[in-house]
Amino acid sequence: MGFIDWAKAFFFNRTEGTLKDGVAWDLQAEVVYKQLAIETCVDLIAKALARCEYKTFQSGTTFRGNNYYLLNVEPNVNQNATEFWYNAFYKYMYEGECLIVMVDNQLLLVDSFNVTEYAVYPNVYKNVTVKDYTFSSIFYEKDVFHFKLTDKNIRHVIDSLYSSYGRLLSATMNSFKRKNNKRWFVNSDYLRGQDDDTQKAIDTMLQDQLKNWFDPNKEAVVFQKQKDYEMEDASDAKNGVKADSSDIRNMIDDIINFVAMGFHVPRTLLKGDIADIEANIDSFIMFALNPVAEVFADELNRKLYKREAYIKRSYMQIDTSRIKLLDIAQLATAFDKLFAIGGMTINEVIEELGKNPINEDWANERYITKNYQKASMQESSSQGGETK
């Protein structure tokens, strides 16, 4: 859904009028703020996961082959990997499930499908539609990658939480508008007919005269004050009743907090705050991204690699650590310690930094400093050298 379609669907109430009629659509604020929070959460998660690297392994070691290119560069002839996975994650989070089929060694994101589920037999997928094309063939469970949202009731929970808050927010906004409305008494002393047409004519005259008077966009306004007319301001603000938008802002914050809680997204990230940004990103990766990445990795491994290859340590892994910006100065001590105990090779350190590995055998070997030795050697080394 594009931004214009989304705006039409959620920002405006199309029953109030059309642009052709010259009538502005009525803004539905109680829907906008909830939808804005949901769209922001889903977009944030999808964009973050689309940045991940799909690492492929063969016999326990990293390997860049056809699967690596398929997952990280070109899933199909019409999309690059970033665009494809963003759409896939967005659909997964927003609609609760996502279906991908492989046709001619290409990954295609399905727009709609029908599935017949069984208990012990493979599920059957029919009417699989990608863009404007519907496949006539039937797909079985082994032929598709079907990702289902584990928190599939999340939007129902958010809607339930919001139902009361939406009414409360709408009432608060109406109260704010009422308190800031301009109300005047017009006192006059003259004789007139007591009929509807006469009263309507007088009301029209007053409204036409005062229209420009209350228009804040008019730089200069002249009001013709008639004889025996007395104007009295009866607005709430004139009587000391002041209204500000703090109550509305607080309710909007509550709505955003509810949605952020449902999607496990830190509220500060959703609002764009930078306080404790590093800790919030760690929380975002752990609770919002890793569970989704695991769902996709498990499904891809069991269909793309299958049991025999996986047992022999040939598999793929979605690396969510690449989402964070790496500071070499902060990582230097950690990399030095990991390298010193043989935890990483030189090339593994270089690849973690996003650099090209060294094409030398010694760069793939593990080293250990002389400060470390086997635990069984501690007792003999502490006895000294008098036995030698």
User: Mapped to the 3 state alphabet, what secondary structure does 183-194 carry?
Assistant: CEEEEECCCCCC
Q: For residues 283 and 249, state if they share a domain.
A: yes
Which helix (H) or strand (E) segment is 171 a member of? helix 154-179
Q: What is the structure's pLDDT at 334?
A: 79
Q: What percent of the chain has pLDDT over 90?
A: 33
Mean pLDDT for all residues in the chain? 77
Q: For residues 207 and 300, state if they share a domain.
A: no
Domain boundary at 281, 307, 325, which?
Answer: 325
Number of compact structural domains in the chain: 3
Residue 33 CA to residue 256 CA, distance in Å, equals 8
Residue 302 CA to residue 298 CA, distance in Å, equals 6
The contacts of residue 334 (CB under 8 Å, 6+ apart) are none
- Per-residue pLDDT tens digits for 332-376: 777 888 888 888 888 888 887 777 888 888 888 888 887 776 656
133 falls within a domain: no
8 falls within a domain: yes
Residue 185 CA to residue 96 CA, distance in Å, equals 56
Q: What is the structure's pLDDT at 347?
A: 85
What is the domain extent for residue 343? Answer: 328-378
Type of residue found at 31 = V
Q: For residues 313 and 337, state if they share a domain.
A: no
The contacts of residue 382 (CB under 8 Å, 6+ apart) are none
Residue 125 CA to residue 143 CA, distance in Å, equals 9
Of residues 301 and 383, the one with the higher pLDDT is 301
384 falls within a domain: no
Contact present, 59 and 314 (Cβ < 8 Å)? yes
Q: For residues 349 and 257, state if they share a domain.
A: no
Q: What share of the chain is helix, strand, coil (3-state, %, to 5)?
A: 50, 15, 35
CA atoms within 13 A on the CB side of 175: 14
Strands 124-130 and 133-134: antiparallel
- Per-residue pLDDT tens digits for 211-249: 766 666 666 666 666 666 666 665 555 555 555 556 667
Which residues on adjacent β-strands are paired with residue 54? 318
Q: What is the structure's pLDDT at 252?
A: 73
Of residues 373 and 92, the one with the higher pLDDT is 92
142 falls within a domain: no
Q: For residues 312 and 347, state if they share a domain.
A: no
Type of residue found at 216 = P
Q: Give CA 200 to chain center in angstroms.
A: 52
Q: For residues 8 and 27, state if they share a domain.
A: yes
- Per-residue pLDDT tens digits for 2-28: 434 444 444 444 444 333 333 333 335
Q: For residues 40 and 158, state if they share a domain.
A: yes
Query: What average pLDDT does range 60-75 have in this prediction?
Result: 93
Contact present, 199 and 205 (Cβ < 8 Å)? no
Contact present, 334 and 353 (Cβ < 8 Å)? no
Residue labelled with tokens 């306004």: 221
For residue 19, the 8-state DSSP code is: T
128 falls within a domain: no
81 falls within a domain: yes
- Per-residue pLDDT tens digits for 128-165: 999 999 999 999 999 999 998 876 556 665 555 555 55
What is the greatest pairwise CA distance in the chain?
130
Residue 48 CA to residue 165 CA, distance in Å, equals 30
Is residue 81 scored above 80 in pLDDT?
yes
The SS3 assignment for 65 reads coil
Of residues 90 and 157, the one with the higher pLDDT is 90
Q: What percent of the chain has pLDDT over 70?
A: 65
Which helix (H) or strand (E) segment is 97 a member of? strand 97-103
Which residues on adjacent β-strands are paired with residue 231? 186
Which residues on adjacent β-strands are paired with residue 148? 97
Q: What is the structure's pLDDT at 12?
A: 42
305 falls within a domain: yes
Q: What is the structure's pLDDT at 2?
A: 46
Q: For residues 192 and 61, state if they share a domain.
A: no
Q: For residues 346 and 307, state if they share a domain.
A: no
The tokens describing 172, both together, are 């608060």
Contact present, 55 and 305 (Cβ < 8 Å)? no
* φ, ψ dihedrals at 357, nearest 5°: -70, 165
pLDDT band of residue 297 (cuts 50, 70, 90) is very high
Q: For residues 58 and 166, state if they share a domain.
A: yes
Q: For residues 72 and 189, state if they share a domain.
A: no
Q: For residues 62 and 200, state if they share a domain.
A: no
Type of residue found at 138 = I
Domain boundary at 234, 256, 277, which?
Answer: 234
